[in-house]
């Protein structure tokens, strides 16, 4: 593993695999959270209770997810630093779109915004869960999940920050989706345009779904 991640090809491959895992996580995360727009008596509470108390998810999937998130960001920085030191001409003096798309050059900026969002988001939801379950040791309450989520989106500033982060996430995905396939060597005259088209739709629909959830809860506050 150490040998694999010490070569540039190996690093790019590992980066792409972590990205693909996170792409799948986002589909799952959006699907569960979309249930919340079905209202407080909908299936969101039951789904959240399952995700929050199932030992396989809590003690197996959640640590893997945590590792994938940290690995992806650390490896992103390492690759960026290596690229910079290998490149004699700075990006600012680069030949713009003639060399690479604006977004591919700015993955690090959109990535940093998503990282900052995750700091707030973990504090909002993940830390709250850990505190509720393991620090305060409260008894499970199957009806708390929907009201807790709904209440978070009463705050206009949180909604604004989340929506801005989702737009930047979309830009990150717009380049990242197809780039992850390229990095694992999935290049083919017939399939690459299909992968690009799926990537374009994915990078629009996933952030749009998250924006819809945030706005739904903000606009339905009593």
Closest CB to ligand HEM among residues 33, 203:
33
Least gap, CB of 191 to ligand HEM (angstroms): 27
Q: Which two tokens stand for residue 2?
A: 């150490």
39-57 per-residue burial string, b: 16 or more CB within 10 A, e: under 16: eeeeebbebbbebbeeeee
Do the beta carbons of residue 149 and residue 124 sit within 8 Å?
A: no
Minimum CB distance to ligand HEM smaller for 149 or for 171: 149
Q: Which two tokens stand for residue 97?
A: 């779109």
Q: Which residue is nearest to ligand HEM (CB)?
A: 125
Instruction: Give the interface with ligand HEM as residue ranges (CB under 6 A).
Output: 29, 33, 51-52, 62, 65, 69, 114, 121, 125-126, 129, 149, 162, 169, 210, 213-214
Nearer of residues 100 and 103 to ligand HEM, judged by Cβ: 103
**Residue 129 Cβ vs ligand HEM, minimum distance, rounded to whole Å:** 4
Q: How many Å is the Cα radius of gyration of the chain?
A: 19
Q: How far is the CB of 145 from ligand HEM (least distance, A)?
A: 7
16 versus 69: smaller Cβ distance to ligand HEM: 69
Between 51 and 112, name the residue whose CB sits nearer to ligand HEM.
51
Alpha-carbon span 184 to 13, nearest angstrom: 5
Q: Which ranges constitute the DSSP H helices of the chain?
A: 8-34, 44-53, 55-56, 62-86, 102-105, 107-121, 127-130, 145-152, 156-183, 191-219
Q: How far is the CB of 177 from ligand HEM (least distance, A)?
A: 14
């Amino acid at each position: 593993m150490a040998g694999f991640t010490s070569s540039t090809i190996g690093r790019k491959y590992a980066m792409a695999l972590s990205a693909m895992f996170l792409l799948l996580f986002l589909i799952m995360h959006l699907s569960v959270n979309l249930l919340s727009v079905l209202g407080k008596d909908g299936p969101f509470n039951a789904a959240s209770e399952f995700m929050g108390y199932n030992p396989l998810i809590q003690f197996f999937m959640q640590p893997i997810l945590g590792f994938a998130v940290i690995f992806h960001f650390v490896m992103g920085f390492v690759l960026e630093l290596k690229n910079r030191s290998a490149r004699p001409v700075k990006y600012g003096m680069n030949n713009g779109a003639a060399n690479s798309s604006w977004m591919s050059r700015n993955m690090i900026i959109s990535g940093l915004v998503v990282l900052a969002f995750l700091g707030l988001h973990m504090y909002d939801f993940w830390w709250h869960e850990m505190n509720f379950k393991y620090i305060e040791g409260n008894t499970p309450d199957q009806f708390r999940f929907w009201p807790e989520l709904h209440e978070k989106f009463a705050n206009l500033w949180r909604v604004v920050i989340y929506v801005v982060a989702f737009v930047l996430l979309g830009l990150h995905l717009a380049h990242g989706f197809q780039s992850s396939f390229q990095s694992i060597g999935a290049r083919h005259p017939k399939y690459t345009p299909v992968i690009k088209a799926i990537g374009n739709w994915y990078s629009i629909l996933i952030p749009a779904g998250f924006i819809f959830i945030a706005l739904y809860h903000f606009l339905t506050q009593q």
